[in-house]
Amino acid sequence: MKLTRVLVVEDDADIQKVIRMSLKMRGVAEIVLVDTGADCLERLKGFTPDVILLDVMMPHLDGYETCRRLKQNPATRDIPIVFLTARVQKADRERGLKLGALGYLTKPFDPMTLHDQILALFPEASSRKGEKGTGAEK
């Protein structure tokens, strides 16, 4: 499997750049960056990425709420979501995964392995999808 299109939802411009370079280095062709949860919902109209990298702490619409809305919408619910967040506590992780995310990665991340860490989440997701038919619930 190869990641070709990634939507990055991150409100910190510097971290956006690091994520973009990290994915570009590993050959991801299309990396779309948005700053907010609302922009994420908007950008997904007519655009289906291989995965959404989603920050949690963002103003107005946080990552959890964005994820919840994406999973409720039939048009977006099958797009895998991977949280990439500074919220490292167990309860935060459990909350993210309960919302149907494929994975939960924490900051600071290693830009050299970010791409592989995201890819590594996929085999489990596909088997779960087969079982439940609703995407990558954990």
Partner 1 sequence: MSGERHILDSLGSGLLVLDAQNRVEFVNRTLAEMLHMVPEDWVGRPAGEFLAVMARFALPVALPRFDWPEIFGSRDIEWRDGESLRYFREDSAPLSTGAGGAAGGRVFAYHDVSHEKAVDRMKSEFISVASHELRTPMTSIKGSVDLILSGFAGETSPEMQELLEIAQKSCDRLVRLVNDILDLSKIEAGQLKLNLERLDVTEIAVRAVCAVKPLADKAEVRLRVDRPQPLPLVDADPDRIEQAITNLLSNAVKFSPPKSQVSVELSADGEWVQCAVCDQGVGIAEKDLHRIFGKFQQLSEGRRRGGTGLGLAITRGLIDEHRGSIWVESRVGEGTRFIFRLPITAPHSPSTAALAGQVAKP
Q: Measure the CA–CA gap between 34 and 7, rounded to whole angstroms.
A: 8
Q: How far is the CB of 25 from partner 1 (least distance, A)?
A: 5
Cis geometry, peptide bond prior to residue 108 (ω within 30 degrees of 0): yes
Q: Give the nearer residue to partner 1 in terms of CB position, either 3 or 58.
A: 58
Can you tell me which of 4, 27, 47, 88 binds partner 1, judged by CB under 8 A? 88
For the window 23-42, what string marks contact with partner 1 as x by the rule CB under 8 A?
Answer: --x-----------------
Q: Does 61 bind partner 1 (CB under 8 A)?
A: no
Residue 69 to residues 59, 73, 92, Cα–Cα distance (Å) = 16, 6, 18
Can you tell me which of 30, 110, 116, 124 binds partner 1, judged by CB under 8 A? 110
Residue 48 to residues 2, 106, 107, 134, 137, Cα–Cα distance (Å) = 15, 24, 25, 17, 19
Can you tell me which of 64, 104, 109, 122 binds partner 1, judged by CB under 8 A? 109
Q: Does 95 bind partner 1 (CB under 8 A)?
A: no
End-to-end CA, the chain: 21
Write down the residue that tokens 């991801």 correspond to.
Answer: 28
Strands (E), 21-122: 30-34, 51-54, 81-85, 103-106
Q: Does 97 bind partner 1 (CB under 8 A)?
A: no
Stretch that binds partner 1, among 67-75, 86-94, 97-105, 121-129 (CB under 8 A): 86-94
Write down the residue that tokens 């970010």 correspond to.
Answer: 114
Binding residues (CB under 8 A) for partner 1: these are: 12, 14-15, 18-19, 21-22, 25, 57, 86-91, 107-112
